Amino acid sequence: MRLLDHKVAIITGAAGGIGTATARLMVDRGASVVLADMNLAAAEAAALPLRRAGGAVLALYLDLADEGSIEAMVRASLAHFGSIDVLHNNAADLTPATAGRDHDIETMPTEVWDRTFHVNLRGTMLCCKHVLPHMVSRGAGSIINTASNLGMQGNLGQAAYAASKAAVIQLTRSIATSHGRRGIRCNTVSPGLVLTQAARDNLPPRLLEIVAGETLTPHLGEPLDVAHAVAFLASDEARYLTGHNLVVDGGTVAHVPGFAQFCNLFEQH
Ligand SMILES: NC(=O)c1ccc[n+]([C@@H]2O[C@H](COP(=O)([O-])OP(=O)(O)OC[C@H]3O[C@@H](n4cnc5c(N)ncnc54)[C@H](O)[C@@H]3O)[C@@H](O)[C@H]2O)c1
């Protein structure tokens, strides 16, 4: 018996990065998986090797900014697999047009704030809203929302992203509270820096060095590190776990400010 046998999972933003890694792991653990993404061609490409290896997967178009598209994605998932046991709200608008202009609030174009909240928070809320009636009718379900360590810490920029992720952490608690007695668990995963291909290609080496200096583990995070946390929260092994914010960041939010300098001061590495 595998961890996720007989479970059907929707993963949003599954066309790349953490979402694809989670889809791969969930299929490996026995789940049937919907890979839902705005980039349908990339979602299809991510699904193909999983299908060839015998996995039950379906790639679907999803635009989190459009409620009709969310409803259609949920309907199509149910029509194909017959049920939804797990919803992993992983997608976020990380495009240059949005995340690339998300500075401090004085310099950020207001439409960047609106777009960030529209996709990252409203889109996440709407996926929950349209999946919940089905989960309630079965008396079971696990929702895992993706936030970020930046939802808990101040940063020089990314003001809209950080506020949207802080709100996702709170949305999780609201759903866990309103729907727990109806058999539905809702948790957050908050990744720290994760070395997706995009992060490897775009982040300057100096930035990675700085983050590594603040990380308690000897390595930075990989997409699979987050995927394992999500698969656990999705599974029945986590049946007593709800309303939680599982931080997957190598301990960067766990330590005292100045940790990297203290390491130098006391010559600890
Ligand atoms: N990579 C990191 O370092 C890191 C750190 C903290 C949190 N996170 C969070 O983890 C999640 C995944 O991050 P990632 O690095 O794998 O990102 P990614 O950019 O590789 O994946 C995001 C996916 O979401 C999709 N998407 C964007 N807008 C959409 C929309 N409107 N509708 C539907 N799909 C849409 C994209 O097409 C993309 O496939 C995000 O929520 C991100 O905020 C990532």
pLDDT of 184 > 90? The answer is yes
Q: What is the mean pLDDT of the chain?
A: 97
Model confidence pLDDT, tens digit, residues 34-64: 999 999 999 999 999 999 999 999 999 999 9
What pLDDT does residue 115 have?
A: 98
What pLDDT does residue 74 have?
A: 98
Tokens of residue 58, six digits: 């379906």
Residue 213 neighbours by CB distance under 10 Å: 14
Q: Which residues pair with 246 in a beta bridge?
A: 189
What pLDDT does residue 88 have?
A: 98
Distance 92 CA to ligand 1 centre (A): 4
- Does the predicted TM-score (pTM) go above 0.95? yes
Model confidence pLDDT, tens digit, residues 103-115: 999 999 999 999 9
Helix (H) or strand (E) holding 57: strand 57-61
Could you tell me the domains of the chain?
A: 8-202+220-255 (3.40.50.720)
Tokens of residue 226, six digits: 């987050």
Q: What is the C-alpha separation between 262 and 260, in angstroms, rounded?
A: 5
Q: Which residues contact 258 (CB under 8 A, 6 or more apart)?
A: none
pLDDT range class, residue 269, cuts 50, 70, 90: low
Residue with tokens 């900014």: 65
Is 240 annotated as catalytic? no
Q: How far apart are the first and last CA of the chain?
A: 42
Distance 12 CA to ligand 1 centre (A): 9
Tokens of residue 148, six digits: 């970020």
Residues with CB under 6 A from ligand 1: 12-13, 15-19, 37-39, 62-65, 90-94, 119, 146, 148, 191, 193-194, 196, 198-199
> For residues 248 and 144, is the Cβ–Cβ distance under 8 A?
no
Q: What is the mean pLDDT of residues 187-214?
A: 97
CA 84 to chain centroid: 17
> For residues 124 and 162, is the Cβ–Cβ distance under 8 A?
no
pLDDT of 267 > 90? The answer is no
Q: Which of 72, 93, 87, 69 is nearest to 31 (CA)?
A: 87
Selected catalytic residue, list 46, 161, 187, 211:
161
Q: Which of 128, 228, 235, 233 is nearest to 178 (CA)?
A: 128
Q: Which of 55, 59, 60, 1 is nearest to 31 (CA)?
A: 55
